[in-house]
Amino acid sequence: MKTRYWILIFCAVILLCTALWLLPKSGGDRAVVSVVGKPLLTLDLSADGQIPLDCGAVLLIENGTVCVLSNDCPDQVCVRHGILTRGGAPIVCLPKRLVIRWEKDRSGVDAVAGAMP
């Protein structure tokens, strides 16, 4: 009886750990959109489409990446940035405090010094 309990508990723990480990890894690449430092939403980049944001920006997801299609900000730096590239800088709209970055960077470095203007 006792042994059976232990086997059950052991199996349950293994299952739980595997599930937790696999859960965030499922799906394709993801990007995080944050406004004024707070994550607003996570984009699944495998699902093409346009996403209008409350702040006035419209995002376009295509070919596994994302860009700002249009935005009613004064400088349009975010629109001119183009697509989010691997190892490249996040898309930033200073006037709207909007940042779009990869959920997990795979460039092999933890950060790049001197990268920001």
Partner 1 sequence: MKKFLISVLCLLLCIFSGCAAREDTRTFFCMDTEMSVSVSGADAERNTLRAENELYRLDAMLDAQSESSELYAFNHGAQPGGELSALIARSRHFSEETSRAFDPEILELMALWGYFHADASVPSEDTVSEALHAAQKSTDLGGIAKGYAAERLRAMLTENGVRSAILNLGGNIAVIGKNPSGRPWVIGLQDPSGAPGSFFASVRLCDKSVVTSGGYERYFEQDGVRYCHILDPKTGRPAQTDLLSATIVSAQDTLADAYSTALYVMGSARAAEFWQSHAEDFDFVLLRQDGTVLVTEGIAADFSCELHYEVLQK
Instruction: Give me the residues that bind partner 1 (CB under 8 A), please.
Output: 2, 5, 9, 13, 16, 34, 36-37, 85, 87-90, 92, 94, 97, 99, 101, 107-117
Q: Residues 82, 108, 98, 22: is their CA dihedral positive or negative?
A: positive
Between 49 and 87, CB nearer to partner 1: 87
Minimum CB separation of residue 39 from partner 1 in Å reads 8
> What is the Cα–Cα distance from 32 to 113, expressed in whole angstroms?
21
Beta bridge partners of 38: 35
Between 21 and 26, CB nearer to partner 1: 21
Between 16 and 47, CB nearer to partner 1: 16
> What is the Cα–Cα distance from 67 to 59, expressed in whole angstroms?
6
Between 36 and 47, CB nearer to partner 1: 36
DSSP 86: T
Minimum CB separation of residue 37 from partner 1 in Å reads 3
Amino acid (one-letter) located at 30: R
Residue pair 43/51 in contact (Cβ under 8 Å)? The answer is yes
Minimum CB separation of residue 9 from partner 1 in Å reads 7
